[in-house]
Amino acid sequence: MKNKKMWTLAALGAATLIGVAAYSLSSPGIETPKYRVLRRTGEVEIRYYPSMVVARTPVGSASFDQSGSNGFREIAGYIFGGNARNQKIAMTAPVVMNLSDSATMYFVMPKEYAAADLPQPNSGRVVVAEEAPKVLAVLRFGGFTNDREISAKCIELGETLAREGLKPTGTFMYMGYNAPWDVVNRRNEVAVELEWDVDGIQ
């Protein structure tokens, strides 16, 4: 009975954490990473992203349906005080999931922070790191999403890049901008890094 009560309290705590994080994600004025659109190819944008600091965690698989909530909860725990300073860090959008075999999920940290400014995560599964500047090919779509939809959009993005002679490097990623209960104006994106001379971008 005692164990059941403990599991119930833990589940309620996790649900509350996700709910608070999701509320923050859907709040107006939430910070998003700055980028520059270099060109457009149909519905695909080629974007330059400068360096950014992220909090990253591994997830169980490349399945958004199976692993998305676990990764979200892990990093949300860090930014909502699960760190050496019990410091709360503002939520940003999007939540990014790398869809490789060694899948990861990350939140971009607010631009006011350098990596050295951020507290050490309490969880050994969360790592704070700096992402190098990169160029991403990005395809945006709306509605609620799942593994099947994400896979279809990755294929569509890959076919567009092949037609344009643009070479992806690395694996596809999913970027989600909305809380679970947002019904309208939902924003989803799939993206992949491109071979690009970022040093030549002014």
Q: pLDDT of 9-37, one tens digit each?
A: 344 344 434 444 444 455 557 899 999 99
Q: In what order do the strands lie in the sheet with 127-131?
A: 36-41, 44-49, 134-141, 188-193, 173-176, 95-98, 104-108, 52-58, 127-131
Domain count, the chain: 1
Instruction: Tell me the β-bridge partners of 107.
Output: 55, 95
Residue 149 has pLDDT above 70, yes or no: yes
Q: Give the pTM.
A: 0.84
Tokens encoding 14: 């996790």
Q: pLDDT of 124-137, one tens digit each?
A: 999 999 999 999 99
Q: What is the CATH number of the domain that holds 85?
A: 3.20.80.10
Kindly report the average pLDDT of the chain as a whole number: 87
Determine the structural domain holding residue 128 and report its residue range: 2-200
**What does the CA dihedral 3, 4, 6, 7 come to, rounded to 10 degrees?**
120
SS3 170: coil
Residue 78 has pLDDT above 50, yes or no: yes
Residues 68-74 have a mean pLDDT of 87
Q: Percent of the chain beyond pLDDT 90?
A: 70
Residue 166 has pLDDT above 50, yes or no: yes
SS3 120: coil
What is the reported pLDDT for 67? Answer: 78
